Chains A and B, each alone.
Chain A
Amino acid sequence: MALLPEQFSQLESLAETWALPTELQRSERRWAAGPDDYRRFYEAMLPALDQVLDYLDRYEPGNIPEPALPLYRLALAFAEAAPHNELYDCSNTVPNSFDARRFVAAHGEITDR
């Protein structure tokens, strides 16, 4: 069964690997991504970004129904990954940085789906 609403079928294969529920899982996905992963993600998402956000805005934060969650998580993953394209030359780390794996997202999971 498709993860995303039909009008976003071009993003379906991205959702399979990027639409992850927790910040830590999405971070791990970024750390494992290569330059081509970042390019594919960005090139497909950027033109669709406004439509994706418009679609999600029919729901309220904290109250997104199960079937729309993959699209929401995909958008979150993109918001978190885009700096790697726009600033870090598609590297999976922030240049000259502390080891991101030692940085704990201590807020845990923010339950605002």
Chain B
Amino acid sequence: MAAPAEQLKQAMPYTTRYPELGTGPLDVRPLIDPELFELERERIFKQAWLYVARAEELAEPGDYKLRRLDVANTSVIIVRDRNGEVHAFHNICTHRGNKLIPEQEAQSLGHTATHTLTCRFHAWTFNTDGTLRGVARQESFAGLDKSCLGLNRIHCAEWEGFIFINLAEQPRQSLVEYLDGVADHYAGYPYNEATLRFRYSTVLNCNWKVSLYAFSEGYHVPTIHQGTFPSLATLEHTEFRCFGPHSTSGLYVPPVPGLEPTPVTANLGGRLRASNRHRPHLELLPENINPDNRQDFQFEFSVFFPNSVIHLCAGNGYPGMAIFHHQFWPIAVDKTLWEGTNYFRPPETVSERIAIAHTNALHRNAWLEDTSTMEQTYQALSSGVLDEMVLMDEELMIRNTHKHWHDYMGI
């Protein structure tokens, strides 16, 4: 009979590589406790670097993005100034605190041709580098020092065109230090070429980690996605690596025996696979992704702590899709804004555009399958019946996130 340690190694070859993660069950309380949620605001979301924009969303000087951050009770302006530099500011006018840019949606894009932002309340005007430019009837303020009344700055840094912010007064690490090994692991892919974006969002009545964890494993794929992707039934989820709080893995899908693609998918997907622009570009993958150059590579699948999951497909899995990602924005202990975005290279022909719509629709439908479990899971967990949840080997990225969640929280 094999010794327990060997049995463990055999059942959990990846998990046992990271002894600090353990192999036991995880505590459920972090997913349901309102007091812990209040602490998460300070200890996680005001400490960690948060991905908030792609550089292409702010392609030109004067472009800006407004991003609501309910978890920090603020909204953020990310703006490219006239010299091309990107800044982030709290969206609050330094006169009497009106929102500088009125906010309608969780995120939106805008442009200022004059490279200034003017408050609607009393017309204070700020430059896109944050300095206060003009004050109406300035002579009626006693000794106003405009140089002290610039916009409230937020730390902001860019990596591979992914723009991150950090709400800490003084971040503990630079962005690249924070990203640890995942920064190199993902470096070098032409992310900037995939400029056609389809973003879906919904507010889920569940904790943000219920949704994050559901999107952090491939174990659910043969069951949850048998409707939309019977072709994924054979998936292999492998090549797990942890880089500090972040983790990554490779997903491969050998052909399902006897399963032919359906006619419309064969036609439209085939067009993308045949196009030089949208075809699988395995050769563009960073060196350590798909290291054996497998043709059945589906995507690299990574959790960027705390609240982003990024997939690099390079056109190889879903026809034409370059990357896609999920973000989980906490609103309350039981409320989460989920956003899923698919990225494609822009089409050169109308038929490519239509084929992209097909890939995108299938993937959106798969997300409808994913999100179907989350509110049910949360409701059931919040009953308090389960104290713990048990994980299999390929649920390792959840285990890694959960461990680092505890470290950040100091509990």
Contact = CB atoms under 8 A, between A and B. Distances in A.
Contact of B202 (A64, A83, A95, A98): A98
B371 A98 contact: yes
B350 A86 contact: no
B350 A104 contact: no
Interface string A44-81: 00100110011011011100100000001001101110
B170 interface: no
Contact of A61 (B263, B347, B358): B347
Given A61-B353, A106-B107, 20 more contacts: A49-B267, A53-B350, A53-B354, A57-B349, A61-B349, A64-B350, A76-B354, A79-B357, A79-B361, A80-B361, A83-B264, A83-B265, A83-B362, A87-B228, A97-B369, A98-B368, A98-B370, A104-B200, A107-B198, A110-B198
Contacts of A95: 227
Contacts of B262: 82, 86-87
A13 to B, nearest CB: 20
A36 to B, nearest CB: 18
Contacts of B227: 87-88, 94-97
Interface residues of A, number: 37
5 contacts: A59-B350, A79-B355, A98-B372, A106-B200, A107-B197
A106 B199 contact: yes
Interface of A: 46, 49-50, 53-54, 56-57, 59-61, 64, 72, 75-76, 78-80, 82-83, 85-88, 94-98, 100, 102-107, 110, 112
Q: How large is the interface on B (under 10, 10 to 19, 20 to 34, 35 or more residues)?
A: 35 or more
B196 A60 contact: no
Contacts of B267: 49-50
Contact of A102 (B202, B230, B347, B354): B202
Contact of A94 (B202, B230, B358, B365): B365
Nearest to A82: B264
Given A76-B357, A79-B354, A106-B201, A61 B339 contact: no
B198 A57 contact: no
Contacts of A46: 263-264
Given A79-B264, A95-B227, A98-B371, A103 B361 contact: no
Contact of A57 (B228, B350, B361, B368): B350
A103 B368 contact: yes
Interface string B258-294: 0000111101100100000000000000000000000
Contacts of B349: 57, 60-61
B351 A105 contact: no
B361 A83 contact: yes
B368 A94 contact: yes
A103 B351 contact: no
B364 to A, nearest CB: 7
Given A46-B263, A97-B372, A102-B202, A56 B362 contact: no
